[in-house]
Amino acid sequence: MDCKKAERLLLRSLDGRLEDREKIRLKDHIEDCSHCQKAEREYRMILGHLKKEGVPEPLPYFNERLLAKLNVKEKTMPGLIWQKWATRTLAFSLAAIILIGGAFLILRPREPQQLSQVEALLLRDENPLTETQNILDARGPENRNMMLIFTAMEEKDSPRR
């Protein structure tokens, strides 16, 4: 193992992220390498000093001040409120549209349909067959006259043939 590789493994070992086999290899290397022994000492010291002594505390009344600021922001920035509730509002709006649309489709009043002549007669409690017979009867004389005309024309034409 060279020192470059050892340095990488050393830093991983300080985080406790080294497998047993690598730990042994690193240990063997450090025992024989003064350069890496120095590196190990220095890294331990540096990382030990990175953390500050004592946990710093925020200024007093942190929560109270924060909630007061939130209240002010909510009141003065309606855009933020919209942003906050946008997702929820969108879901509710979609659900409402689907619900109202569905109800409209199911419960909408049916348009009056155009009745056929037969239906109209039945609705007026009249017999459609009688009505048809009347119509045919009304046309009867017309048809008879036409037949007479055609017969007369045929009789006129027959001697010529």
Partner 1 sequence: MEEKELIRLSQEGNGEAFGLLVERYKAKVFNLASSWTQDRAAADDLAQEIFIKAYFSLPKFKFKSEFGTWLYRIAVNHIKDYLRKKKTRLKEIPLEEGKKILTAENEGRLEDEQVEEKRRALVQAALQHLPEKHRIILTLRDIQGLSYEEISCVLRLSPGTVDSRLFRARKKLREKLAAYLGQEGGEYGL
Residue with Cβ nearer partner 1 (14 or 146): 14
Per CB under 8 A, does 94 bind partner 1? no
Binding string, 49-78, against partner 1, x = CB under 8 A? xxxxx-xxxxx--xx-xxx-xxx-x-----
Answer for the pair 17, 34: CB distance below 8 angstroms, yes or no.
no
Answer for the pair 39, 7: CB distance below 8 angstroms, yes or no.
yes
Strand, helix or coil at 113?
A: coil
| Structure tokens that stand for 48 in this block | 């030990």
Per CB under 8 A, does 86 bind partner 1? yes
Q: How far is the CB of 59 from partner 1 (least distance, A)?
A: 4
Instruction: Tell the residue number behind the tokens 């409120």, with chain if given.
Output: 81
Per CB under 8 A, does 8 bind partner 1? yes
| Structure tokens that stand for 99 in this block | 């619900």
Report the candidate in 51, 5, 52, 48 with the shortest Cα–Cα distance to residue 25. 5
Instruction: Tell the residue number behind the tokens 């005309």, with chain if given.
Output: 149
Residue with Cβ nearer partner 1 (12 or 25): 12
Binding string, 30-49, against partner 1, x = CB under 8 A? ---------x--xx-xxx-x
Per CB under 8 A, does 87 bind partner 1? yes
Answer for the pair 43, 11: CB distance below 8 angstroms, yes or no.
yes
Question: Which residues of this chain interact with partner 1, rule CB under 8 A?
Answer: 7-8, 11-12, 15, 17, 39, 42-43, 45-47, 49-53, 55-59, 62-63, 65-67, 69-71, 73, 80, 83-88
